[in-house]
Amino acid sequence: MVLMFVSMISDLLSHSYKFLFQLLEEKIITFVKNELKKIQTVLYPDYSECLNCQTEDKEILECEDEEQRRTNREAFIKITLQFLRGMKQYELADRLFAPVCQHNLKSQLKKKFQCLFEGIAKAGNPTILNQIYTELYITEGSAEVNDEHEVRQIETTSRRRKPDGPETTIRQEDIFKASPGRDEPIRTVLTKGVAGIGKTVLTQKYTLDWAEDKTNQDIKFIFPFTFRELNVLKEKNFSLLELVHHFFTKTKEVGICSFEDFQVVLIFDGLDECRLPLDFHKTKILTDPTKSTSVDVLLTNLIRGNLLPSAHLWITTRPAAANQIPPGYIDMVTEVRGFTDPQKEEYFRKRFRDEEQASRIISHIKTSQSLHIMCHIPVFCWIAATVLEDVGKKRKEETRTALPTTLTEMYIHFLVVQAKVKKVKYDGGMETDPPWSPESKQMVESLGKLAFEQLQGDNLIFYESDLTDCGIDISAASVYSGVFTQIFKEERGLYQNKVFCFIHLSVQEFLAALHVHLTFINSGVNLLEKQQETTQNLQEEESADTCLYKGAVNKALQSSNGKLDLFLRFLLGLSLQTNQSLLHGLLEQTGCSSQTNLETVQHIKERLSGNLSAEKSINLFHCLNELNEHSILEEIQQSLRSGSLAADKLSPAQWSALVFILLSSEKDLFVFDLKKYSASEKAFLSLLPVIKCSSIALGGCNLSDRICETLSSLLSSRSSCLRELDLSNNNLKDSGVKVLSGGLEGPHSKLEKLRLRFFKSFMICHFESSGRVDKRYLRTSTFTIYHVSTSSIFSNCLIVSVMYAVCRLSSCSVTEEGCSALTSALNSNHYHLRELDLSYNNPGEAGVKMLKQLRLDTLRLSGCNLSDRICDTLSSVLSSHSSSLRELDLNNNDLKDSGVKTLCGGLESPYCKLEIFRLSGCLITEEGCTVLISVLNSNHSTLRELDLSYNDPGEAGVKLLKQLQLDILRYEVAFGSQSYNEALIIFPETDLTQGLSSSVLSFQCKLSLSVIQTSSVSNSMCMRAM
């Protein structure tokens, strides 16, 4: 009995387990089927068999919470991934895991970039990037190298009060989107910008917006690298996949084997900091993303398109390093211009939530030109905000504290603020304690030495070997970066490799100048003299400090690219007693008497009287500003205000002062009229730096062919922004204009309008044959020629004119031969001329027939001695199905009624697009007007403006004209035999009999009445006009 009972229990348990496992099997099979359907949906979006998948899943797994469900699915996907790879279905495996990989990558990037550390972070006090980010001014640029000092570059940018022309501005999220009219896709973008202008923040914002699902969601992966991090891998080998996995570990965990089937963006920030040997000519070709090689070989093959050719590449660099990549591998170059004036204000208003405080700071920045210019750089805006906030607090306590107005004062205050932070935060001091301790003084001296020695080699980032060469222990450097966090920073690449840098080039230059000053004051050693290869011959009676500052001025002027410009400003600013008093505690003793400052000022004035370039002269005036010397500028400003400027008596230094004032002025320099200052060649040459920044009016300035070589050089220079040049009424001769044409053919010439009125003849070289003219400017340009004497010269002019969108050849004695040359030039050229003005020439019937093949929007043939015989040709142009003519000017030709009737055949064509028709003085009577009006009253007429003045429409014709529904209509009403020369604009409904006084009507006159239907002229206005 017992055995039987045990057997029954055993059978029941066996049956129960069997049922349990059957149920478990069913659930697992159902789960697997459902998950496989979801996977099929991911891999094949058109798959449609899993519509009820979600319902089934809920029924089976209804007891699970969301976290458990997610864990189960991740585990299943991993199992599926193993099976797919075991089946060698690598592409399917990658596609399956791409969403998981993307989610993990976005989480990693959000965590990394959502906080922006301005300068360098205060511990525990990061700034949210989206809260502080101010849109940067980004434009399309060129791949040319500019090795000028970057402060010079932003000063040049600041002088361009209006854009150089048809600039294309770009939003950061659209960096890879092709501009209208561009067919080729953009693979590689090179973005240039001076140090601290915002290139890195720009790439971070681009990446963060993608990671937060705000923009560019068609991109599957974004991988941002920095050259600082890549530099430390110089001796190591990676495949492309290994490199990605190394920096972005989440992609390695998922195990994606290839990125070729996804839309990928690779960002490489800081090409100027690259220490890898990028060789685009000798590097071996690599196409396998799984093959290991050196990092430099990987980068060159990525940029060349051998590796991952479907990926987008974004590379940022300072301008001087832009040539490290051959232009053939770059699809688009952009330039970060930093903050515009409105963006500067936007930054400060975001930085200071107190509106009154922000307004005070903005107003103060505007009072100092040097500070306002530097605020183009976002990092400088942060430095200024830090200083002005601190000084503002002091001013509440001590009314004697003055706001900084020079760069030297600004950076001294910035250094003191950092010393004060160290005193309070690390040394346990009070806010009111002196900021300088022996440790902080030692730190500043060591950082100054590093700054000066690395400045000599143009290094902005430093590795352990660089610090060792300067005698700085690596552990000490780490301490400096931890204490002076907003001056000197330490970054860590892979494997804990340390990278050091100053927060901005200007901070490095200030500390370098401070090091030279401290060394001289404390030991009498002139570090600049030691660095010079040849020592200046100085008079024995000059003091050592005078030698230091004179030598610094001379050394800076010897630099062709302005490498020491900002350093010189700081060094001279530090020589002032007032600035040295701000560093009380750091400086154990002060140096430089007022006599030394006077001698330095005198030396600068002497150098200004020499033959210096504009950039060097401008920097010397900035130096005088740092020395609080304004006498030359004030003298010239007073003369300008009183209108007593005697240009013929100005010294070279005074001319330089005038240039500085004009370039610093708030007035728009877009059009500069030389005659306002002096109509002479001397004034032209002296004010050339201003002329470079403007469209210029040089008409009637007594200029000869001697200035044409200078103008030609200016037109062809990289920095030229000349769009319009008026040289009318000067004695340039043919020889001068030939020289001028050399500048017009240069690749950098942006000239759109050239006026050469009242020349007996001139020649323009065939510069179009070089193929170097920038079509962006020519297609929207105007080419105007006046008074050409011979047909051969005219033919040469035509070769140039066809490159332009608008060609004006008024009063140039153009005949049938000229029209033949024009059409021939256009037929052999792909440029599209839109507007042609041949007024007051003699093209003849045959010449006009030749023009028939041109697809013009505007054709002007006023005063061309044409008769009614030409109207048949013009009518066929108007009625052509390919006609694009919208404006036709036939004023002052003897077309008569017969000619108008012929033209009406073209006007009534459904293909006619004419909007403006001028027939003034064409001997048209009531008969011709009647036919014309009948055609214009048809429904398909596109005409908006008609000029029938100086014809005789008769009373009946006038009545019919009043019925036309046009925007502008001009015609005549006869009051007698005499003519009245004033034109009267009226509204059609106005009762003229009430407005015209008897005194006017007594004149037996003939009034020309211009009727403008959209006008709002009243009766009272008519009475006032009489």
Residue 849: how many other CB atoms lie within 10 Å: 19
For residue 466, give every residue at least 6 positions away whose Cβ sits within 8 Å of its Cβ, in sequence order, or none: 454, 459, 500
Identity of the amino acid at 928: G
Closest by alpha carbon to 520, among 571, 469, 481? 571
CA dihedral (933, 934, 935, 940) in degrees, to 10, reads 100
The confidence band for 753, taking pLDDT boundaries of 50, 70 and 90, is: low
Contact 248, 223 (CB under 8 A): yes
What is the mean pLDDT of the segment spanning 655-673?
A: 72
Spatial distance between the Cα atoms of 796 and 457, rounded to a whole number of angstroms: 52
Spatial distance between the Cα atoms of 998 and 408, rounded to a whole number of angstroms: 76
Q: Is the pLDDT of residue 782 over 60?
A: no
Give 733's Cβ-side CA count (13 Å radius): 7
What per-residue confidence (pLDDT) applies to 961? 86
Between strands 753-755 and 835-837, the pairing is: unpaired
Closest by alpha carbon to 95, among 108, 105, 109, 85? 85
Choose between 274 and 711: higher pLDDT: 274
Tokens of 896: 């008569």
Backbone angles phi, psi at 624, to 5 degrees: -60, -35
What per-residue confidence (pLDDT) applies to 529? 80
Q: Is the pLDDT of residue 976 over 80?
A: no
First to last CA, the chain: 138
What per-residue confidence (pLDDT) applies to 892? 92
Spatial distance between the Cα atoms of 11 and 16, rounded to a whole number of angstroms: 8
Spatial distance between the Cα atoms of 562 and 327, rounded to a whole number of angstroms: 26
Contact 417, 385 (CB under 8 A): no
Spatial distance between the Cα atoms of 608 and 657, rounded to a whole number of angstroms: 9
Closest by alpha carbon to 976, among 953, 997, 1005, 996? 1005
What per-residue confidence (pLDDT) applies to 812? 55
Spatial distance between the Cα atoms of 597 and 603, rounded to a whole number of angstroms: 10
Give the H or E element holding residue 971: strand 968-974
What per-residue confidence (pLDDT) applies to 895? 93
What per-residue confidence (pLDDT) applies to 899? 95
- Token pair 């600082």 in the structure block, residue: 228
Closest by alpha carbon to 54, among 70, 37, 66, 40? 37
What per-residue confidence (pLDDT) applies to 384? 93
Choose between 224 and 318: higher pLDDT: 224
> What pairs with residue 971 in β-bridges?
1009
Q: Is the pLDDT of residue 515 over 90?
A: yes
The confidence band for 138, taking pLDDT boundaries of 50, 70 and 90, is: confident
What per-residue confidence (pLDDT) applies to 257? 66
Contact 231, 296 (CB under 8 A): no
Q: Is the pLDDT of residue 859 over 50?
A: yes
Choose between 471 and 70: higher pLDDT: 471
DSSP state of 284: P
What per-residue confidence (pLDDT) applies to 178? 77
Choose between 158 and 235: higher pLDDT: 235
Contact 331, 186 (CB under 8 A): yes
Q: Is the pLDDT of residue 1000 over 60?
A: no
Contact 382, 138 (CB under 8 A): no
Q: For the chain, how many residues are written?
A: 1026
Choose between 476 and 240: higher pLDDT: 240
Between strands 782-784 and 753-755, the pairing is: unpaired
What per-residue confidence (pLDDT) applies to 124? 45
Give the H or E element holding residue 947: strand 945-947
Spatial distance between the Cα atoms of 337 and 139, rounded to a whole number of angstroms: 8
What per-residue confidence (pLDDT) applies to 502? 85
DSSP string, 641-664: HHT---GGG--HHHHHHHHHHHHH
Q: What are the contacts of 30-34 at 24+ separation with CB within 8 A?
A: 30/56, 30/60, 31/57, 31/60, 31/61, 31/72, 31/76, 32/76, 34/60
Backbone angles phi, psi at 859, to 5 degrees: -135, 125
What per-residue confidence (pLDDT) applies to 23? 65
Spatial distance between the Cα atoms of 412 and 38, rounded to a whole number of angstroms: 64
Spatial distance between the Cα atoms of 43 and 776, rounded to a whole number of angstroms: 45
For the segment 430-445, what is each residue's pLDDT rounded down to a tens digit?
777 788 888 888 888 8
Give the H or E element holding residue 115: strand 115-116
Contact 764, 741 (CB under 8 A): yes
3-state DSSP of 569-631:
HHHHHCCCHHHHHHCECCECCCCCCHHHHHHHHHHHHHHHCCCCCHHHHHHHHHHHHHCCCCH
Spatial distance between the Cα atoms of 466 and 458, rounded to a whole number of angstroms: 12
Contact 217, 210 (CB under 8 A): yes
What per-residue confidence (pLDDT) applies to 144? 57
What is the mean pLDDT of the segment spanning 697-705?
A: 76
Closest by alpha carbon to 683, among 656, 728, 647, 736? 647
Closest by alpha carbon to 1000, among 963, 973, 960, 962? 973
Contact 808, 856 (CB under 8 A): no
Give 738's Cβ-side CA count (13 Å radius): 6
Residue 326: how many other CB atoms lie within 10 Å: 12
The confidence band for 110, taking pLDDT boundaries of 50, 70 and 90, is: confident
Spatial distance between the Cα atoms of 822 and 827, rounded to a whole number of angstroms: 9
What per-residue confidence (pLDDT) applies to 119? 45
For the segment 527-556, what is each residue's pLDDT rounded down to a tens digit?
888 544 444 444 445 678 888 999 999 998
What per-residue confidence (pLDDT) applies to 517? 93
For the segment 66-93, what is each residue's pLDDT rounded down to a tens digit?
666 666 666 666 666 666 666 666 666 6
For residue 261, give every residue at least 6 positions away whose Cβ sits within 8 Å of its Cβ, in sequence order, or none: 91, 94, 95
Q: Is the pLDDT of residue 586 over 90?
A: no
Q: Is the pLDDT of residue 946 over 70?
A: yes
What per-residue confidence (pLDDT) applies to 596? 85
What's the order of all strands across the beta sheet hosting 753-755?
671-673, 695-697, 724-726, 753-755
Contact 957, 980 (CB under 8 A): no
Burial class (CB in 10 A: 0-12, 13-18, 19+), 560: exposed
Spatial distance between the Cα atoms of 460 and 455, rounded to a whole number of angstroms: 8
The confidence band for 406, taking pLDDT boundaries of 50, 70 and 90, is: very high
Spatial distance between the Cα atoms of 474 and 490, rounded to a whole number of angstroms: 11
Contact 783, 810 (CB under 8 A): no
Q: Over the chain, what is the mean pLDDT?
A: 75
Spatial distance between the Cα atoms of 314 and 303, rounded to a whole number of angstroms: 10
Contact 313, 302 (CB under 8 A): yes
Give the H or E element holding residue 1011: strand 1006-1012
Could you list the beta-strand ranges (E) of 259-388: 264-269, 293-294, 312-317, 332-336
Spatial distance between the Cα atoms of 943 and 946, rounded to a whole number of angstroms: 7
For the segment 15-47, what is each residue's pLDDT rounded down to a tens digit?
666 666 666 666 666 666 766 666 666 555 554
